[in-house]
């Protein structure tokens, strides 16, 4: 059995409202806001904080972790070892299994799957999956309204409060949004990507999962959808026939933080849980989609001294567009 | 010494040469350069390429021992101290001390010099920050205001306006000081010494033969030097390095703080002078401002401090500073200090306190001189 | 980390590991020492100490003049960890007016500078805020 033993989330302190971004570009209106990292934060500093929170909730020492798997699409490095650096910062033993996942936001579930596999193979007894992203969109682009920063982590162990019940992958050669090294996301036909990419892939992944597990959608009490856009998520709910009340999303509050968004929303779902139920969580990124089913068996522990996801969503400081631009470090400048 | 200031037209060696020639010319009964048996050269920057050889090239003194000394802002006084040892030990009859610093060949000077990479240590800590941290702690502990600290700047700028060798020769008010732009809060621009080029030279002779050169010699009565670090503990309202150096100097000289008639002390920042009153035993902890309020330390007061304008007005060319202070006290004790002459002083005190080792350590140096 | 300067103290620095002198209790951080800076014991015996990321501000300045690479105004403090070790630290996530002597702070991992395109990490300090 592979269980989720703990979760941790890090949401940076700063926010910018969509309205403020629009105003800077001479547009009016705008809904929601997104999380902005400080100029001295990167995927590693945020990832460490999420991971430390997860370890603290599980009362675990870094030395007890046997795997550190890290997923990110925005580290900015072509060569580096972030999972190994994270393992060192967390105090893991040198024999720890480390792996860096990336290139698609879906890699967050690849990391989760890899950790699950290692546990099922009996190679490790306790693993840490960390996702962290700091997406920077081209100023003035539509993506600028949603691209955000954040991190989250899960501790997987033999005994936890939720079991990973089923896993289903759907892969195709479909890419959709993509980005060359050191460049911004290019403009694509968003309706095409939403329909032929996102909707198509998550539907098929979910379909496969329900078939394999012999389960119906109404048995899921909560749903996490890895949507890079609020409208995509809403369209998906309608198309799949899911009750919007079951949808757990932090998108309106913190925007879209790549790999991290999937785990942040999943952690938020675990935190908001009022009764024991099943959670459907579906990741998406270039290449395909993974669907997984969680069975919550116990209430996750509330830790004194640890900020809840809700508290992190609410503890915020709004910044102006010029401050946001400085924090993005698109113009260089000090950390 | 030479006039302190922005000497864009003079190289480091030009300044040393001028200070050296001035020192020789000031010997009452004359001195043949060939009588100089050894020399000590104090300078802080740069670490490499600025050895005793610079002094040789600047002065034409070759073939004799020349040693470079660096000890942060106490460099000038420690250079003097080491030269004193050689004479006191009976090794030499006559030796030369030169302190010099070229602060203006690099833009910005020390005001903005801070390490980016010394994590936990000097990262982001400029000289104004190091002393500003003392100011915050001192003001917090004793309930002292920026206006009270500013009294040091006002006094020293007044003195500097009178002193011919000073870099800044203007007066300023308490309002000027507290309204100046911040450099490192709570320190503003007028709480800080300027970025100054300078050099000073001293000629030391064995006490028993000093009268061959002058009928009016000044004697070195005591000396002390000590180091410290805030990482060892304690609050940040004093410099134990200064306290220990002063203790050593008073003990070797056999005098007490109240015996001091005039002093040139380290006022790289306004707060430094205030704290140093207490470290040197002139005031009880937290009571330094009283000396300023009562005019005790002003020109014409009972114990004038920094009649030259101090580092705040005269300038602070690191390696030159201590040597220049001793040159100024030499003039004071001989009654030659002109517009800033103190009335008939007999015992004088010189003091430096510096920072080093990525802003984690401090060094204090104190000398006591007498007629 | 690409430089020996950072690498030498990386374990202590990253995980806040200090060394406590068994004769006087002084804590060395992040340097591993064999002599004690407080009592002067040589050799001194040190015990490894896992510090917590908490401390308080002993004194501070607000830096207005700094070279390129620093954002100003920058609150800069001498921070004393609860275990006694003293360090310099930048104060973040608060307005300069909030910084004061005695303020309780928490060490927060941040990017300090870049070297050869790599982010170099260490800790800054943020006010210790209560959490439910």
User: Do B150 and B181 lie in a common domain?
Assistant: yes
Tens-digit pLDDT profile for residues B238-286: 999 999 999 999 999 999 999 999 999 999 999 999 999 999 999 999 9
Tens-digit pLDDT profile for residues C7-31: 899 999 999 999 999 999 999 999 9
Residue from the list A44, A89, A334 with its beta carbon closest to the beta carbon of C70: A334
Tens-digit pLDDT profile for residues C75-102: 999 999 999 999 999 999 999 999 999 9
Residue-number span of the structural domain to which B90 is assigned? 12-105+198-212
Token pair for A128: 């840490």
Cβ contact (<8 Å) for C14 and A89? yes
Direct distance between the N- and C-terminal alpha carbons of chain A, in angstroms, rounded to an integer: 44
Distance separating alpha carbons of residues B69 and B99, to the nearest angstrom: 9
Those residues of chain A that have pLDDT short of 70 are none
- The whole-angstrom distance between residue A286's C-alpha and the CA centroid of its chain comes to 15
Q: Are strands A97-101 and A67-71 parallel, antiparallel or unpaired?
A: parallel
Instruction: Name the residue of chain C whose CA is nearest to B137's CA.
Output: C59
CA distance C132 to chain B (A): 31
**Domain total for chain B?**
2
Residue B3 counted as domain residue: no
Domain end point (choices B212, B246, B268): B212
Distance separating alpha carbons of residues A162 and B182, to the nearest angstrom: 56
Token pair for B159: 């003195």
pLDDT value for B319: 97
- Kindly state whether C120 is in contact with chain A, defined as any CB-CB distance less than 8 angstroms: no
Distance separating alpha carbons of residues B9 and B19, to the nearest angstrom: 15
pLDDT value for B109: 66
Using DSSP's 3-state secondary structure scheme, residue A13 falls into coil
Instruction: Give residue B106's pLDDT band: very low, low, confident or very high (50, 70, 90).
Output: confident
Phi/psi for C16 (5° steps) reads 55, 55
Instruction: Name the residue of chain C whose CA is nearest to A303's CA.
Output: C132
User: Do B313 and B282 lie in a common domain?
Assistant: yes
Domain end point (choices B185, B212, B239): B212
* CA nearest to A100, candidates A115, A82, A76: A82
Q: With beta carbons less than 8 A apart as the criterion, state whether C58 and B107 touch.
A: no
pLDDT value for B111: 65
Residue B1 counted as domain residue: no
- Report which DSSP code applies to C96: G
ipTM of the complex: 0.95
Does residue B266 have an active-site annotation? no
DSSP B134-151: HHHHHHHHHT--HHHHHH
Does residue B316 have an active-site annotation? yes
* Mean per-residue pLDDT, B129-157: 98
Distance separating alpha carbons of residues C64 and B180, to the nearest angstrom: 12
Domains of chain C: 53-132 (2.40.50)
Chains in contact with chain B (at least 3 beta-carbon pairs closer than 8 A): C
User: Do B134 and B274 lie in a common domain?
Assistant: yes
Residues from chain B that touch C115, judged by Cβ atoms under 8 A, are: 117
Domain end point (choices B160, B177, B212): B212
Residue from the list C26, C58, C90 with its beta carbon closest to the beta carbon of B124: C90
- pTM for the structure as a whole: 0.94
- Kindly state whether A53 is in contact with chain C, defined as any CB-CB distance less than 8 angstroms: no
CATH number for the domain spanning B78: value is 3.40.47.10
Token pair for B370: 């007498």
* Mean per-residue pLDDT, B187-203: 97
Residues from chain C that touch B140, judged by Cβ atoms under 8 A, are: 59, 101
Which residue out of B7, B266, B316, B367 is catalytically annotated? B316
Residue B7 counted as domain residue: no
User: Do B163 and B278 lie in a common domain?
Assistant: yes
Instruction: Name the residue of chain B whose CA is nearest to C88's CA.
Output: B120
Q: With beta carbons less than 8 A apart as the criterion, state whether C31 and C48 touch.
A: no
User: Do B292 and B237 lie in a common domain?
Assistant: yes
Domains of chain A: 3-161+307-328 (3.40.47.10), 163-296 (3.40.47.10)
DSSP B242-297: HHHHHHHHHHHHT--GGG--EEE---SBHHHHHHHHHHTTSS-TT-HHHHHHTTTT
Instruction: Name the residue of chain C whose CA is nearest to B112's CA.
Output: C66
Q: With beta carbons less than 8 A apart as the criterion, state whether A197 and A106 touch.
A: no
* CA nearest to C49, candidates C33, C37, C38, C62: C33
Instruction: Name the residue of chain A whose CA is nearest to C117's CA.
Output: A77
User: Do B243 and B344 lie in a common domain?
Assistant: yes
Percent of chain C with pLDDT over 70: 96
Token pair for C3: 């430089």
pLDDT value for B216: 96
Cβ contact (<8 Å) for C71 and A333? yes
Cβ contact (<8 Å) for A335 and C112? yes
CA distance C45 to chain B (A): 17
Q: The sheet that has B262-264: what strands, in order across it?
A: B219-229, B361-370, B347-356, B262-264
- How big is the A-C interface in CB pairs under 8 Å? 53
Residues from chain C that touch B232, judged by Cβ atoms under 8 A, are: 26, 37-38
Residue B112 clears pLDDT 80, i.e. is over it: no
Chains in contact with chain A (at least 3 beta-carbon pairs closer than 8 A): C
User: Do B263 and B343 lie in a common domain?
Assistant: yes
Residue B6 counted as domain residue: no
Residues across chain C? 132
Q: With beta carbons less than 8 A apart as the criterion, state whether C126 and C106 touch.
A: yes
Sequence-distant (6+) residues with CB within 8 A of B26 are none
- Kindly state whether C95 is in contact with chain A, defined as any CB-CB distance less than 8 angstroms: no
Q: Which of A178-192, B317-331, C109-123 is the most confident on average?
A: B317-331
User: Do B176 and B232 lie in a common domain?
Assistant: yes
Residue from the list C113, C131, C132 with its beta carbon closest to the beta carbon of A335: C113
């Amino acid at each position: 059995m592979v269980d989720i033993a703990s979760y941790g989330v890090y949401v940076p302190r700063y926010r910018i409202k969509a309205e403020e971004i629009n105003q800077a570009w001479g547009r009016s209106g705008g809904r929601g806001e997104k999380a902005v990292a400080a100029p001295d934060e990167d995927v590693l500093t945020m990832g460490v904080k999420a991971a430390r929170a997860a370890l603290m909730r599980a009362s675990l020492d870094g030395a007890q972790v046997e795997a550190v798997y890290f997923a990110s699409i925005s580290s900015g490095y072509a060569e580096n070892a972030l999972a190994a650096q994270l393992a060192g910062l967390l105090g893991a033993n040198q024999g720890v299994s480390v792996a860096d996942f990336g290139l698609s936001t879906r890699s967050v579930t690849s990391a989760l799957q890899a950790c699950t596999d290692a546990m099922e193979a009996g190679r490790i007894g306790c693993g840490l999956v960390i996702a962290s992203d700091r997406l920077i969109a081209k100023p003035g682009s539509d993506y600028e309204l949603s691209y955000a920063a954040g991190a989250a982590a899960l501790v997987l162990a033999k005994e936890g409060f939720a079991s990973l019940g089923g896993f289903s992958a759907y892969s195709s050669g479909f890419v959709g949004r993509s980005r060359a090294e050191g460049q911004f996301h290019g403009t694509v036909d968003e309706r095409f990507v939403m329909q032929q990419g996102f909707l198509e892939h998550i539907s098929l992944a979910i379909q496969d999962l329900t078939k394999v597990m012999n389960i119906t959608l109404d048995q899921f009490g909560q749903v996490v959808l890895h949507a890079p856009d609020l409208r995509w998520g809403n369209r998906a709910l309608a198309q799949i026939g899911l009750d919007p009340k079951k949808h757990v999303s932090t998108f309106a509050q913190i925007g879209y933080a790549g790999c991290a968004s999937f785990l942040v929303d999943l952690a938020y779902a675990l935190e908001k849980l009022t009764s024991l139920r099943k959670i459907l969580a579906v990741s998406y990124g270039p290449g395909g989609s993974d669907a997984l089913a969680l069975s919550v068996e116990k209430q996750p522990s509330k830790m004194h001294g640890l900020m809840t996801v809700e508290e992190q969503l609410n503890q915020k400081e709004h910044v102006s567009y010029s401050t946001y631009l400085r924090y993005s470090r698109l113009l260089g400048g000090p950390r | 010494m030479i006039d302190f200031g922005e000497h864009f037209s003079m190289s480091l060696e030009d300044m040393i040469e001028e200070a050296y020639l001035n020192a020789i010319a000031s010997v009452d009964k004359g001195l043949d350069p060939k009588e100089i048996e050894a020399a000590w050269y104090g300078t802080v920057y740069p670490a490499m390429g600025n050895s005793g050889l610079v002094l040789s090239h600047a002065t034409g003194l070759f073939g004799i021992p020349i040693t470079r000394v660096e000890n942060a802002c106490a460099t000038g006084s420690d250079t003097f101290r080491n030269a004193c040892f050689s004479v006191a030990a009976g090794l030499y009859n006559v030796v030369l001390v030169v302190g010099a610093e070229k602060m203006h060949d690099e833009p910005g000077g020390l005001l903005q010099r801070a390490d980016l990479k010394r994590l936990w240590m000097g990262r982001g800590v400029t000289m104004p920050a190091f002393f500003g941290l003392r100011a915050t702690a001192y003001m917090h502990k004793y309930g002292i205001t920026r206006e009270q600290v500013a009294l040091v700047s006002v006094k020293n700028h007044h003195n500097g306006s009178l002193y011919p060798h000073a870099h800044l020769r203007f007066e300023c008010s308490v309002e000027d000081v507290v309204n100046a732009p911040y450099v490192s809060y709570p320190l503003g621009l007028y709480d800080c010494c300027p970025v100054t080029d300078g050099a000073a030279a001293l000629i030391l002779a064995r006490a028993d033969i000093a009268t061959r050169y002058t009928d009016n010699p000044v004697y070195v009565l005591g000396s002390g030097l000590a180091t410290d670090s805030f990482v060892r503990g304690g609050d940040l309202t004093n410099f134990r390095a200064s306290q220990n150096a002063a203790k050593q100097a008073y003990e070797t000289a056999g005098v007490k703080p109240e015996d001091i008639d005039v002093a040139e002390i380290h006022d790289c920042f306004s707060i430094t002078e205030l704290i140093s009153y207490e470290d040197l035993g002139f005031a009880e902890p937290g009571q330094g401002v009283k000396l300023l309020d009562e005019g005790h330390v002003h020109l014409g007061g009972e114990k004038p401090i920094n009649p030259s304008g101090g580092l705040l007005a005269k300038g602070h060319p690191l390696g030159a500073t201590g040597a220049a202070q001793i040159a100024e006290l030499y003039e004071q004790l001989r009654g030659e200090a002109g517009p800033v002459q103190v009335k008939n002083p007999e015992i004088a005190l010189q003091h430096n306190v510096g920072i080093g080792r990525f802003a984690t350590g401090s060094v204090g140096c104190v000398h006591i001189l007498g007629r | 980390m690409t430089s020996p300067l950072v690498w030498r103290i990386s374990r202590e620095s990253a995980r806040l590991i200090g060394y406590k002198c068994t004769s006087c209790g002084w804590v060395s951080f992040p340097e591993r020492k064999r002599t004690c800076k407080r009592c002067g014991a040589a050799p001194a015996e040190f015990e490894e100490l896992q510090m917590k990321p908490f401390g308080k501000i002993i004194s501070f300045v607000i830096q207005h003049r700094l070279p390129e690479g620093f954002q100003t105004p920058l609150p800069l403090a001498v921070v004393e960890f609860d275990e006694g070790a003293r360090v310099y630290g930048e104060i973040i996530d608060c307005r300069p007016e909030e910084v004061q002597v005695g303020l309780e702070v928490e060490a927060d991992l941040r990017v300090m500078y870049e070297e050869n395109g790599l982010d170099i990490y260490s800790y800054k300090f943020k006010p210790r805020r209560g959490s439910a």
